């Protein structure tokens, strides 16, 4: 990101940019900033394409067309999957593209082995936007708070992050709701967060598994019924419970090997502060209990698919079994 900021600040812009990664908010922010830096408000020489099945030949023909009364033409290609398959022809063209055309690619996932990715690496600028770490997210949230004239304690800031998850777009939306709700208050409390912020599905599942670990059967079932009331399909809930138990199993195994929170988070794809929560939760199960729980989830899925039991009953029995 530092290199992108420098390019935008100095005006020394490249003809090829690739922005990729799972943090959609940052991808969009830098997409729009680069667009403004490259072409400004010129709509005549700006073309945007989104989705699969893009005709690469037409894109190349367009790139070869001289810009209309301007120095640059900008072509933005978003979520095309060309970095997974079908991008070979475009990769070949980009090795000697028209200097008057700039390309900006925006993708969630890429195959780094693809010819198109390697071409962008060698000829342009490639930036990955992954899940941001705890410190970065906290600084960003505090920046928004300061701008709105609000204050929040460190404990409530962590609680807010636990509730919203690490997706920056979701954090922004939930923060804006909080600011509106607390319009007359300078300080945001835990009660305000509970009142206005929507708990993410992953947090809901985490709480359910915590209730199972604590043998709080009533609470675990109540959380399950809440998800059903929110129209979450039982099979999806089962999948998420299985994923949670599997994640706890991985965390426990890594901790046993001597890894600490940050390293564990990097290996299983969790921010460090959330990995710490998973470590605590994993400590409430034995290794055998976690392995058995994962196997039980697989068996429950098989029973549903073979028609031995309906999906709702299967998940309910699984919760009852492990919270008894």
Q: What is the CATH number of the domain that holds 179?
A: 1.10.8
> Is residue 122 domain-shared with residue 236, that is, in the same domain?
no
212-225 mean pLDDT: 90
Q: How many residues can be counted in the chain? A: 324
Task: Note the pLDDT of residue 149.
Answer: 94
Look at residue 267 in the predicted model and tell me its pLDDT. Answer: 85
Each residue of 33-56: pLDDT tens digit? 999 999 999 999 999 999 988 899
Q: Exposure string (b/e) for 294-307, b if CB count within 10 Å is 16 or more?
A: bebbeebbebbeee
Same domain, yes or no: 124 and 181: no
- 124 and 25 in one domain? yes
Same domain, 233 and 188: no
Co-location of 256 and 229 in the same domain: yes
What does the pLDDT read at residue 191? 94
Residues 139 and 109 reside in one and the same domain: no
Q: Is 149 left (phi over 0), alpha (psi -120 to 50) or beta?
A: left
User: Do 149 and 164 share a domain, yes or no?
Assistant: yes
Asked if residue 177 and residue 92 are part of one domain, the reply reads: no
Same domain, 94 and 14: yes
Residue 10, SS3 per DSSP: helix
- Tell me how far CA of residue 248 lies from CA of 86, 214, 224, 308, in angstroms: 38, 15, 19, 28
Same domain, 186 and 253: no
Q: Looking at 96, 128, 160, which one is the last position of a domain?
A: 128
Instruction: Please check whether residues 297 and 221 belong to one and the same domain.
Output: yes
Read off the pLDDT of residues 267-278 as tens digits, 9 standing for 90 and up: 887 777 778 888
Residue appearing with tokens 């945007």: 48
What does the mean pLDDT of the chain come to? 91
Are residue 38 and residue 122 in the same domain, yes or no? yes
Q: Which of 128, 149, 181 is the last residue of a domain?
A: 128
Partners of 152 in the β-ladder: 188
What confidence tier does 61 reach under pLDDT thresholds 50, 70, 90? very high
Does this model's pTM top 0.75? My answer is no
Q: Which CA distances in Å does 99 have to 37, 110, 154? A: 17, 25, 50
User: What CATH number corresponds to the domain at position 27?
Assistant: 3.40.50.300
Query: Band of the pLDDT at 266, cuts 50, 70, 90?
Result: confident
Q: For residue 74, what are the β-bridge partners?
A: 46, 102
pLDDT band (50, 70, 90) for residue 214: confident
What pLDDT is attached to residue 73?
96
pLDDT exceeds 80 at position 6: yes
**Distance (Å, rounded) from C-alpha 88 to C-alpha 115?**
6
**Domain containing 168: what range?**
134-196
Closest listed residue to residue 18, CA positions, set 120, 89, 156: 120
Percentage of the chain exceeding pLDDT 70: 100
The CATH code of the domain that includes 229 is 1.20.272.10
- The stretch 118-135 carries a mean pLDDT of 92
Looking at 179, 196, 213, which one is the last position of a domain?
196
- Rounded to whole angstroms, the Cα distance separating 50 from 237 reads 31
- The total of structural domains in the chain comes to 3
pLDDT at 68 over 80: yes
């Amino acid at each position: 990101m530092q290199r992108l900021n420098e390019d935008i600040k100095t005006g020394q812009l490249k003809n090829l940019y690739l922005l990729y990664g799972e943090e959609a908010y940052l991808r969009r922010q830098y997409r729009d900033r680069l667009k403004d830096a490259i072409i400004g408000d010129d709509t005549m020489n700006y073309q945007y394409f989104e989705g699969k099945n893009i005709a690469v030949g037409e894109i190349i023909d367009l790139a070869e067309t001289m810009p209309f009364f301007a120095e640059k033409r900008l072509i933005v290609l978003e979520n095309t999957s060309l970095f997974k398959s079908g991008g070979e022809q475009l990769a070949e063209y980009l090795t000697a593209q028209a200097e008057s055309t700039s390309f900006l690619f925006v993708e969630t996932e890429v195959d780094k082995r693809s010819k198109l990715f390697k071409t962008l690496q060698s000829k342009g600028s490639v930036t990955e936007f992954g899940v941001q770490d705890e410190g970065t997210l906290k600084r960003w949230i505090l920046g928004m708070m300061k701008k709105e004239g609000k204050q929040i304690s460190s404990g409530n800031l962590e609680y807010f992050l636990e509730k919203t998850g690490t997706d920056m777009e979701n954090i922004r939306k939930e923060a804006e709701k909080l600011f509106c709700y607390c319009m007359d208050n300078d300080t945001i409390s835990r009660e305000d967060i509970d009142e206005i912020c929507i708990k993410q599905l992953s947090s809901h599942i985490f709480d359910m598994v915590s209730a199972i670990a604590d043998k709080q059967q009533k609470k675990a079932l109540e959380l399950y019924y809440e998800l059903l009331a929110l129209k979450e399909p039982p099979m999806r809930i089962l999948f998420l419970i299985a994923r949670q138990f599997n994640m706890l199993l991985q965390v426990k195994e890594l901790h046993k090997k001597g890894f600490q929170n940050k390293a564990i988070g990097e290996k299983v794809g969790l921010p460090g502060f959330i990995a710490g929560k998973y470590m605590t939760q994993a400590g409430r199960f034995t290794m055998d209990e976690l392995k058995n729980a994962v196997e039980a989830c697989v068996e429950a899925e098989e029973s549903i698919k073979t028609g031995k039991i309906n999906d709702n009953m299967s998940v309910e029995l699984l919760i009852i079994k492990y919270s008894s």
